[in-house]
Amino acid sequence: MTLVPALTEHTVDLPSGTLDLWLETPHPPLDSLLDYAVRQNPRRGFLFVSRVLGKHLPVSPAVAARTYTALAAALPPLSAPHFIGLAETATALGEGVYRAWREQHPERPATFQHTTRYQTRHPLLLRFDEPHSHAPAHLLYDPGPAARAATDLVLVDDELSTGTTLENLAREWRRLHPHLRRVMLVSLTDWCPRRAALEAALELPVTFVSLTRGGYRFTPAPDWQPPTLPAVTGNGADKSELLPARGPRYGQAVDLSWPDLQLSPEDRVLVLGTGEYQFPAFALARQLEPMVAACAFSATTRSPVLEGRAMARKFSFTDNVGDGIPNYLYNVGPDLYTRILVTYEGRCLPDPALMALLGDKAQAICLSPLDPQ
């Protein structure tokens, strides 16, 4: 006799429609993991807003670190795996899980890279699409021979909804690497309704790792007018002169240094990443957290979301990678902090409009790579 797990149901009413959720593994409680909002995107009328990711909601770096550790510990035994985090939302999550796994298994080699939206002169390995995204095209640069020799592939995204995006990536990776033996799909929340079909399509064993698992159904409101999608895809120009020549885009996980920030124990600090450049903001916040009264981290994004529900506040400005497209910062009240540190990479200076919105307590910081590992 096969026992069917009990399902826990949730209903979320949004201006765009009704989101019904059912959970197979409701631990930790869903309210501790998620809030909800409406995408400014006619392709999908809702957004799962993570409370532990540090992208749309500022979070403590200790919360994020526990998340990375829990996901890494849930992975099956791996042999010299290659980890890939998806841009832009899961670049920090992917690197965090990779680094946590390395700490748990210091005797085993592993490699990491994240996908990107940006063209550079580095050799391109493959490209694939994220069908429901506001900006569907992902680029994956050649991470080098050690990564490409991996037989275990670990793909990390913030959520698994249909599974199509990670399936597209896994299929393209396997086409170039027929020696691949298995795939791990890691996410904060797993809503995938087609796990068996995905495994059959890849013709490889697939392991699903998440903090919670279930399914959802979205029913659009009959009177909802889908919003217009703003420009989100960039100009496709080569960004080599703006972006660092090495780093996790290219399969190199680098450690970073920063200047003396002259903080006091009474400071309440927010560390912001910019776009894909998010893990360094977490790493800096993690170092600062024991030294100050409070510390959180978050990041700017090109993802357009309507104000309301989880999005209590929205700042709009221009991207810092030369695309000339709108970028956003959500749920940041500058008056809550005594210092706001806006981290950036290479020559990607934050838009002065963002710095003005954050006020005179804001400081832009370029984090410098240490010598290669």
CB 247 within 8 A of CB 107: no
Helices (H) and strands (E) in the chain, counts: 7, 20
Q: Residue 200: exposed, middle, or buried by beta-carbon count in 10 A (0-12, 13-18, 19+)? A: exposed
Give pLDDT, residue 134. 44
Give pLDDT, residue 89. 95
- Mean pLDDT on 222-226: 91
Q: With cut-offs at 50, 70 and 90, classify the pLDDT of residue 29.
A: confident
CB 69 within 8 A of CB 62: no
Query: Quick one: which of 362, 296, 304, 299 has its CA closest to 334?
Result: 362
Give pLDDT, residue 257. 87
Percent of the chain topping pLDDT 90: 85
Q: Residue 76: exposed, middle, or buried by beta-carbon count in 10 A (0-12, 13-18, 19+)? A: exposed
Tell me the pLDDT tens digit for each residue of 300-336: 999 999 999 999 999 999 999 999 999 999 999 999 9
Query: Quick one: which of 49, 90, 93 has its CA closest to 71?
Result: 93
Percent of the chain topping pLDDT 70: 95
Round to whole Å and give the CA distance between 255 and 368: 8
* pLDDT at residue 137 greater than cutoff 90: no
CB 25 within 8 A of CB 274: no
- Mean pLDDT on 207-218: 95
